[in-house]
Amino acid sequence: MRIIGCDLHARQQTLAMLDTETGEVVNLTLMHEGNNVREFYSKLPRPVLVGIEATGSMHWFLNLMEELGIECRGWPSRPDSRGGTPQTET
């Protein structure tokens, strides 16, 4: 399984990706140009879990993850007094 932490911005996203089978960690920046995002995520071996901070501009990304069959969870940008609870976005 690959677990990805995604810092989503308007023109790019910064990723930290862990392969749970090998322990390999990859850090990279992925530009939002053309089909870069679709091509990157569509080539990843499944299963994949992506965690992102909940932002107002994340809907296109959530739609893409759903289309590609990738589980994506969003976290609130300001956790509540209980520390915040991850929410599965579909």
Tell me the average pLDDT across 57-83: 81
C-beta neighbour count of 33 within 10 angstroms:
9
Using a 10 angstrom Cβ sphere, with 0-12 exposed, 13-18 middle and 19 or more buried, the burial of residue 17 is middle
**What pLDDT, in 10s, does the model give residues 19-60?**
999 999 999 999 999 999 999 999 999 999 999 988 888 899
Q: Give 80's pLDDT tier (boundaries 50, 70, 90).
A: low
Residue 50 and residue 71 in contact, taking contact as beta carbons nearer than 8 Å: yes
What residue segments make up the domains of the chain, in order of their start?
2-69
